[in-house]
A and B are shown apart, each in its own frame.
Chain A
Amino acid sequence: MQSLKVPRIVWVSLSPAQPTGPKAAAAAYEPIGSLSALLQGPRADVVVLDGSSELLTPALLQLRRHPDYGLSLIFFSGSADRLAEALADGPLPAESSAVIAAWRHWQERLGLFNRGRLPERFDHSLLCWLWLRPAGLIQPVCDPSNSNFYHYPLVEALAGEGSINVNSWLQQKRQENLLEAGDLLDRLRHCTACDSNRLNYVDVCPECHGLDIVRQPSLHCFVCGHVAPQQDFLRGDGLICPNCLSHMRHIGSDYDRPLENYRCRSCNAFFEDAEVDVCCIECGQRQSPDELRVREIRPFRLSETGQLSCRQGLGEDSVASQYFRQLKLMAQPGFLAALDWQIAITRRYGKPRGTSVCSVLGMRFDNLKLVLNELGEPGTIAMLDSLMERLQQVIRETDRCMRGREDVLWILLPETPTAGLHILQERLLTGLESIESSGGQKLQLRIVGCGLPDQLEKNEDAPLLLARLMGELF
């Protein structure tokens, strides 16, 4: 059986001064004297790094950046710091059979990734790295020298020199539902102006926000209500109110200590608790702590959708969604808000039952994949181009479009009664009909429409309406 190929496992000694060599238990591994020797030689299947953690971390970074070893199984023998742990596959298992089994598993999953295509782009590499390790995590590592305190060394290493914004890239993949966030590890606060987290928290006067405040024990006279610093009351051995001259002999019956224990030297205000201001060291911006931008630090792993995509093919963006981009698209929240507003307007000022004042239309290509397969890309693109032309003619300036899930295009058509909606549907379908097709397959469009408010169901709002219509499209 050729699948039972024996992997080439190399043991790289990182410290040349004291070549440790394979230990007795690890005699099965091929010894290599240095990292450069490994990189110059033929590609190994599994790498074991041996050396102190100071040597281990740079070696791991170098290997993960290398095109040959970015995705490889890399173990370490000995101790490792957090950075090395985030990059490597853990300590070397005691038995070489476990290493071989791990590699077989890895090899098998590599074959399944993206329908057998090896990753070429960076983002595919990272998804692949996670795909190859079912328990794999993109771990954040705390680094005091880093201006953000936390970074994701694996993402940085795989991204290589073409530096991307790691955080926004991770957020994007999370929005695309390919990655999901793990347990919260930390929470950082950043300046709203420059996003720096070098912040200074200072207690200030709540009145004038001056810095120069002092704790000053003060007293409160029960007779006249006078509040002043303690020393203003001291006369000889006793306390006498400077305002009403009454003796203050016993706390609780003649006087008490007000909660206002701080005084501002700039504006002389008395106050209970200082306010805290945050001053950005980088840009000098002053803000209150609850204004700060909060950043959560979490590890990331492949989501279920991500795993499905890795198995079924990541591909590029679907053809349809690329085409929809030519329209002026709204983001989902804006579209939903506009739709909700229209629903509210039509409900309130709607004409008698049976007439609509506004319409929603949803459409999707029923057989795009089939057409693509049959006509190939150039033919399909030509068809889509003419369809988009038609669509842009039909859509008015006041209409609003949104790309929904599963490549559905939603159009909100204000001041369009149900009759107008039907005319629009007709036009789109006849337009599609008239598109020349060189082969037998024709592009099929599914369209669903709804007139507001008479086709609206009770208590239906924008998300509910779209969900109902979505059901009719499939």
Chain B
Amino acid sequence: MELALDSVLDLSGLIQQLQSENGAMRLFLLLFPFFILVELPLILVVLLGVLRWKLRELTLPPKHSLYRPRVSCVITCYSEGLDVQRTLLSLCEQTYPGEIELIPVVDGAAVNQRTLEAVRAFHLDPELYPRRRLRPIAKWKRGGRVSSLNAGLSMSSGTIIMALDGDTSFDNTMVSAVVRHFEDPNVPAVAGCLRVRNTWTSFATTIQAIEYLLSIQMAKIGLSEWNVVNNVSGAFGAFRRSILEQIGGWDTHSAEDLDLTLRIKSYFGRHRRMRIPFEPRAIGHTDAPSTILGLLQQRLRWDGDLLFLYARKHSGSISPELMGWPNFIMTVVGGLFVQVILPFIIVGYTAVSMIVLPWPTLVALAVLVYTLYFLVLLLQFLLMLLLVSERPGQDVRLLPVLPLFPLAMFLIRCWSAVAILNELLRRGHEESGMAPWWVLKSATRF
């Protein structure tokens, strides 16, 4: 390390090294070890998966099925207000020919009167939507998302249970696209695809729109092809009722989506043919935090929860025996390493470079790193437009913002390190705004 840094310090030496045999390779290895070792393979896995998926989609004839189980949509509502009606309407509008039960659960209805009124004011025209039922639940005391989901689950009668957010609305093919997968008995859950609804509200939302497209829509298609989906989103997931009942519904008070995914995955070892598909054609549109502060707070919560789950709660169940080897590797590499450890490497590396490198070298390095990231990003983005996006005309408008994206991601990763530190030092997840203290107190301890 000492040697490497010395050689970087000397710019003429650097140029010499570049000019020497394998010089570029050496510098590359020097500068981007984490990138090469972890990120590039991940991106490759994803891109190969996407290609495979696209080929399969293009060649397979459309499947016609008479499988039409009743679907219950548990919609957790809090302070969305009138936006809930948009969610409900988008579910009524589903082209799915089977029955859909809409169960909006208003948490803390006593304080969220506007949301409750919006739910009550929603009129479901039985002539227009003959196969849709509305069964709202008002929970007067605030109990958090998990208790809302479990309340909805106990009131529901469908074979397929969807966990949805009150501020997310859905494309009208969502339910039929999801339900198709459950015809296969080896599918316990299906992950849906989230997009950002308020793309052009602010710079923060635009950046998140790109992030969602690449890290959710595209990455999950790729991972799903190899059956290594890392998370069924809490804002948007579908589950077979039997598996929910088997594992006892939702548990814990934070990151319940990842928790549930990990608990379902812990069956994979025994049931080798089990898989959690990701359905890119099941699309939900959600509101992303529109301020930088809101975004940072959201990530503080997410990343804190992440560590809590990986390191504390599921440290026992993350094993190749329980999960199977591909999932184990994916969880360790894609989850634990990229999301928990990589932020520290990035922050540490940046800090050290800033201290030991002279400014010109630093700038040259930064430009180099940036260029590489941007090229890879551009490639990903173009492939996304070509192969994945169902709204390419809309998404191509993000292209001018793309050059800023690597910088924003760099900052977000640095922030992740802060969040994880915060979790390590202060158990930050217990300050989570999603659940009040009395729920935390009664939650099962580990």
Q: Is B172 an interface residue (CB 8 A)?
A: yes
Docked complex Cα distance between A369 and B127 (Å): 77
- Taking the closest CB of chain A, its distance from the CB of B254, in whole angstroms, is 30
- Taking the closest CB of chain B, its distance from the CB of A149, in whole angstroms, is 33
Chain B residues with CB under 8 Å of A238's CB are: 95, 172-173
Q: Is the Cβ of B95 less than 8 Å from the Cβ of A250?
A: no
CB-CB nearest in chain B for A257: B128
Q: Is the Cβ of A250 less than 8 Å from the Cβ of B390?
A: no
Q: Is the Cβ of B177 less than 8 Å from the Cβ of A249?
A: no
With beta carbons under 8 angstroms apart, the residue of A215, A217, A234, A257 that contacts B95 is A234
Seen from chain B, the residues whose Cβ lies within 8 Å of a Cβ on chain A are 62, 86, 89-90, 93, 95-96, 127-128, 169-173, 176-177, 283, 285, 390-391
Chain A residues with CB under 8 Å of B86's CB are: 252
Q: A249-B283, A249-B390, A250-B285 are in contact. Are A237 and B95 (CB under 8 A)?
A: yes
Chain B residues with CB under 8 Å of A215's CB are: 127
Interface size class of A (residues with CB under 8 A): 10 to 19
Chain A residues with CB under 8 Å of B391's CB are: 249
Q: Is the Cβ of A249 less than 8 Å from the Cβ of B172?
A: yes
- Taking the closest CB of chain B, its distance from the CB of A247, in whole angstroms, is 8
Chain B residues with CB under 8 Å of A239's CB are: 95, 172
Q: Is the Cβ of A217 less than 8 Å from the Cβ of B285?
A: no
Q: A234-B95, A237-B176, A239-B95 are in contact. Are A250 and B127 (CB under 8 A)?
A: no
| A209-256, CB < 8 A from B | 215, 217, 234, 236-239, 247-252
- Taking the closest CB of chain A, its distance from the CB of B199, in whole angstroms, is 12
Q: Which 5 A-B pairs have the closest CB atoms?
A: A249-B171, A237-B176, A251-B93, A238-B173, A237-B173
Q: Is the Cβ of B172 less than 8 Å from the Cβ of A251?
A: yes
Q: Is the Cβ of A250 less than 8 Å from the Cβ of B128?
A: no
Docked complex Cα distance between A251 and B283 (Å): 13
Chain A residues with CB under 8 Å of B95's CB are: 234, 237-239
- Taking the closest CB of chain A, its distance from the CB of B364, in whole angstroms, is 45
- Taking the closest CB of chain B, its distance from the CB of A420, in whole angstroms, is 75
* Best-surrounded residue of A239, A250, A261 (most CB of chain B within 10 A): A250
Docked complex Cα distance between A252 and B93 (Å): 11
- Taking the closest CB of chain B, its distance from the CB of A236, in whole angstroms, is 6
Chain B residues with CB under 8 Å of A257's CB are: 128
- Taking the closest CB of chain B, its distance from the CB of A138, in whole angstroms, is 47
Chain A residues with CB under 8 Å of B169's CB are: 250, 252
* Best-surrounded residue of B86, B128, B171, B390 (most CB of chain A within 10 A): B171
- Taking the closest CB of chain B, its distance from the CB of A221, in whole angstroms, is 13
Docked complex Cα distance between A239 and B171 (Å): 10
> What are 29 inter-chain pairs, A to B, with CB distance below 8 A?
A217-B128, A234-B95, A236-B62, A237-B95, A237-B96, A237-B173, A237-B176, A238-B95, A238-B172, A238-B173, A239-B95, A247-B390, A248-B172, A249-B171, A249-B172, A249-B173, A249-B390, A250-B90, A250-B169, A250-B170, A250-B172, A250-B285, A251-B90, A251-B93, A251-B172, A252-B89, A252-B90, A252-B169, A257-B128
Docked complex Cα distance between A261 and B391 (Å): 29
Chain B residues with CB under 8 Å of A261's CB are: 128
Docked complex Cα distance between A282 and B89 (Å): 47
Given contacts A249-B391, A251-B93, 10 further A-B pairs with CB under 8 A are A215-B127, A237-B176, A238-B173, A239-B172, A249-B172, A249-B283, A249-B390, A250-B90, A250-B170, A252-B89
Chain A residues with CB under 8 Å of B173's CB are: 237-238, 249
Chain B residues with CB under 8 Å of A250's CB are: 90, 169-172, 285
Q: Which DSSP category, helix, strand, loop or mixed, fits chain B's interface?
A: loop
Chain A residues with CB under 8 Å of B172's CB are: 238-239, 248-251
- Taking the closest CB of chain B, its distance from the CB of A270, in whole angstroms, is 15
- Taking the closest CB of chain B, its distance from the CB of A107, in whole angstroms, is 66
CB-CB nearest in chain B for A246: B393
* Best-surrounded residue of A215, A236, A249, A261 (most CB of chain B within 10 A): A249
- Taking the closest CB of chain A, its distance from the CB of B180, in whole angstroms, is 9
CB-CB nearest in chain A for B391: A249
- Taking the closest CB of chain A, its distance from the CB of B49, in whole angstroms, is 23
Docked complex Cα distance between A250 and B172 (Å): 6
| A240-284, CB < 8 A from B | 247-252, 257, 261
- Taking the closest CB of chain B, its distance from the CB of A29, in whole angstroms, is 63
Docked complex Cα distance between A257 and B172 (Å): 13
CB-CB nearest in chain B for A261: B128
- Taking the closest CB of chain B, its distance from the CB of A80, in whole angstroms, is 46
Chain B residues with CB under 8 Å of A252's CB are: 86, 89-90, 169
Chain A residues with CB under 8 Å of B127's CB are: 215
Docked complex Cα distance between A238 and B97 (Å): 11
Chain A residues with CB under 8 Å of B128's CB are: 217, 257, 261
- Taking the closest CB of chain B, its distance from the CB of A319, in whole angstroms, is 71
- Taking the closest CB of chain B, its distance from the CB of A462, in whole angstroms, is 56
Chain B residues with CB under 8 Å of A217's CB are: 128
Q: Is the Cβ of B89 less than 8 Å from the Cβ of A251?
A: yes
Chain B residues with CB under 8 Å of A249's CB are: 171-173, 283, 390-391
Chain B residues with CB under 8 Å of A247's CB are: 390
- Taking the closest CB of chain B, its distance from the CB of A269, in whole angstroms, is 20
* Best-surrounded residue of B96, B128, B283 (most CB of chain A within 10 A): B128
* Best-surrounded residue of B93, B176, B177 (most CB of chain A within 10 A): B93
Docked complex Cα distance between A217 and B95 (Å): 13
* Best-surrounded residue of A215, A237, A261 (most CB of chain B within 10 A): A237
Chain B residues with CB under 8 Å of A251's CB are: 89-90, 93, 172
CB-CB nearest in chain A for B62: A236
Docked complex Cα distance between A120 and B373 (Å): 114
Chain A residues with CB under 8 Å of B62's CB are: 236
CB-CB nearest in chain B for A234: B95
- Taking the closest CB of chain A, its distance from the CB of B129, in whole angstroms, is 9
Docked complex Cα distance between A48 and B97 (Å): 72
CB-CB nearest in chain A for B97: A237
CB-CB nearest in chain A for B177: A237
Docked complex Cα distance between A241 and B3 (Å): 65
- Taking the closest CB of chain A, its distance from the CB of B410, in whole angstroms, is 32
Docked complex Cα distance between A169 and B176 (Å): 72
Chain A residues with CB under 8 Å of B390's CB are: 247, 249
Docked complex Cα distance between A237 and B174 (Å): 9
CB-CB nearest in chain A for B92: A251
CB-CB nearest in chain A for B64: A236
Chain B residues with CB under 8 Å of A236's CB are: 62
Docked complex Cα distance between A217 and B92 (Å): 13
Docked complex Cα distance between A217 and B129 (Å): 9
- Taking the closest CB of chain B, its distance from the CB of A364, in whole angstroms, is 68
